[in-house]
Structure 1
Amino acid sequence: MPIDIRRTLTTVQTTHKEGWKEVAEPTTLVAAMAIIGNPWYGRGHVEDLSPEIREHGPV
């Protein structure tokens, strides 16, 4: 099943000061995320999706 990527977002944050103090070395945090379409949308109620979820595993 192909993944329907609807939106992506990346952010980079570099910290030079914590409160009022300069940090010894700037710290950089990076995050990335994706909004994907629900592959089971429109199927109505399904009691247990875990077999199908295990079939696809981690992305």
Structure 2
Amino acid sequence: MASKSKGGGKSGGFRVIIYLVKEREDGTDVYLITMFDKSEESTIKKEQLVKLISQLLEL
């Protein structure tokens, strides 16, 4: 996701990690797992992402 306030185009934005948990008749539950500034962290490790998803599924 680009951030106009930061300038810098695509590389000056944010990374958003979402996870689809389930679809229902009345809609879809989509959970935001994390969002981070690409200038502070360029990527997220697979192990970190798996841990975050596991914690979400325990709720």
TM over 0.5: no
TM-score (norm 1): 0.32
TM-score (norm 2): 0.32
In terms of fraction of residues, the more helix-rich structure is 2
In terms of fraction of residues, the more strand-rich structure is 1
If asked which structure has higher relative contact order (CA below 8 Å, sep 6+), I would say: 1
